[in-house]
Structure 1
Amino acid sequence: MDRKSIEDLVQEKNDSYKPLANIKMDGEDKVLINNHTYELIDNHNGCFNIDDFSINYNPIFSRYSYIVGDYGYGVLRLKGFSDDGTNTPLQNQFLAIKDYLNEYANMGADYFVMHNLEVKSKPSSSFNKKRPRRNNRNNKGGFIKEKVTKTKPEIEKREHVTVTQSKGHGKRHFTIKQRND
């Protein structure tokens, strides 16, 4: 395959792409995504393009408070961020957007930041919290596993065993056991 046929295939795929959401502009800095209002709070060098955004947008971003888009080599990359103080990791909170742009976006790349004005907030409970135990009336106390061991007679009192101990002068002493069958 030559370069021209590859570019034709990519163009054909892009033409047949159907967006996953209904996205349209509502003024200069407002965007409606599935009838939810987003505000364009930072548009570095006027790079926001509704066509590129609608191709790359996924409905999973509706749960984030902020969507950051950056262009690298002509390709738009999107990332979601949450409000500060939520149960999300620090690298996914609003304060980390500048760090993300400095570390992961190309140097001097164009970017935009959108704020979801109608974010669907995540529940505050975490999967790491322990669930309270249910009291079961049939269960009268928990099962207690006891370790049962057979007590063996002392080495000197065992049958068919010859015991010799070392009389070494070092720190360690050892015992040699031999069976007499």
Structure 2
Amino acid sequence: MNRAKIQEYIDQREEQRVDLYHYEEQSENDFLLNGHQYKLLKNYREGFDGEQLANRFSNVLNKYDYIVGDWGYDQLRLKGFYDLDNPLFRPEQGVETIEDYLYEDCNFGCPYFIVQNCDIRLPKRRNRRHRKEHSPAIRERRRKLNQPEPRKRRRQSAKRVKVGNHQQKFVIHQRVKRNQNEK
């Protein structure tokens, strides 16, 4: 692929995203993004641009308590962070790591902003059992055609063999047919 073709794909994607997210300013620090309430906490070097935030925003960011946007090479980068009371909290993505992120991962002195999510939408968890039953990626094991069902196998025997502590395996042997004349 050449650069012109890649740029064409990027432009098509941007045109598709225009209608996805809408930015509405309510007051100086409060705004709505697709009807979802946010609050601007810090705007360092006028880094906040609501329209650019709407262009780069994704539904994945709805689960975070705080969103940090930083500018580098005329590109907006967004990263989410959790509050301590969020059930999805992980120490490496906690609120107290925002400052470390700004110093270590962002360009020195770059404009940035911090936004607080006022209405967090946690992702729905699905039951694993339910997921396995309906997943097209998981298929039943098929037994070989030349083997009968397990109940009808008359010439096989299974033995339980212990392997280490609290582990076991089953070994299946084919029974040898003995002649009645041999003894």
Task: Please classify the TM superposition score into its range, dividing by the shorter chain length.
Answer: 0.5 to 0.7
Larger Rg: 1
In 2, Cα distance between equivalents of 1:28 and 1:121: 27
Q: Which amino acid aligns with 1:94?
A: V
Secondary structure at the counterpart of residue 52 of structure 1: helix
> What is the Cα deviation at residue 102 of structure 1?
0.6
Structure-2 separation of matches of 1:49 and 1:122: 27
Give me the whole-angstrom Cα distance separating, in 2, the residues matched to 1:24 and 1:14: 22
* Counterpart position of 2:17: 18
Q: Corresponding residue for 2:97?
A: 96
TM-score of the aligned structures, taking structure 2 as reference length: 0.58
- CA root-mean-square deviation: 3.2
**Alignment-derived partner of residue 65 in structure 2:** 65
Alpha-carbon distance in 1 for matches of 2:80, 2:119? 14
User: Which stretches of structure 1, 4 residues or longer, exceed 3 Å deviation after superposition?
Assistant: 5-15, 121-124, 144-147
Say whether the 8 Å CA contact 1:21–1:59 is kept in structure 2. Answer: no
Could you tell me how far apart the structure 2 residues matched to 1:43 and 1:117 are? 17
Name the structure 2 match of 1:30. 30
CA deviation after TM superposition for structure 1 residue 122, in Å:
6.2
Letter in 2 for 1:21: Y
- Equivalent position SS for 2:114: strand
Q: Residues 123 and 10 (structure 1 numbering): CA distance in 2 closer, same or farther, change over 3 Å? A: closer
Paired letter, 1:56: R
Cα deviation 1:127-162 (Å, max 9, x = unaligned): 9xxxxxxxxxxxxxxxx9454xxxxxxxxxxxxxxx
Local SS of the residue matching 2:45: helix
Say whether 1:108 aligns with 2:109: yes
Q: Which amino acid aligns with 2:91?
A: L
Contact preservation (8 Å) 1:61, 1:67: yes
Alpha-carbon distance, 1:51 to partner: 1.9
Equivalent position of 2:53 in the other structure: 53
Using the size of structure 1 for normalisation, the TM-score is: 0.59
- Over 3 Å counting, the alpha-carbon distance change for 1:16 and 1:146 in structure 2 is closer
SS of structure 2 residue aligned to 1:51: helix
SS in 2 for 1:16: helix
The 8 Å contact of residues 23 and 51 in structure 2, kept in 1 or not, is answered as no
In structure 2, distance between residues paired with 1:76 and 1:63 = 19
Deviation at residue 120 of structure 1 after TM alignment: 2.3
- Paired residue total: 127
Deviation, 1:69, is: 0.2
**How much does 1:9 deviate?**
4.2
Q: Which amino acid aligns with 1:63?
A: K
Q: Is the 8 A contact 1:84 1:95 kept in 2?
A: no
Alpha-carbon offset, residue 78 of structure 1? 0.3
Structure 2: which 5+ residue stretches go unaligned?
129-158, 163-183
Which residue identity is paired with 1:62?
N
Distance 2:124 2:94 in 1: 16
What does 1:29-178 align with in structure 2 at a 5 Å threshold? 29-86=29-86, 87-121=88-122, 145-147=160-162
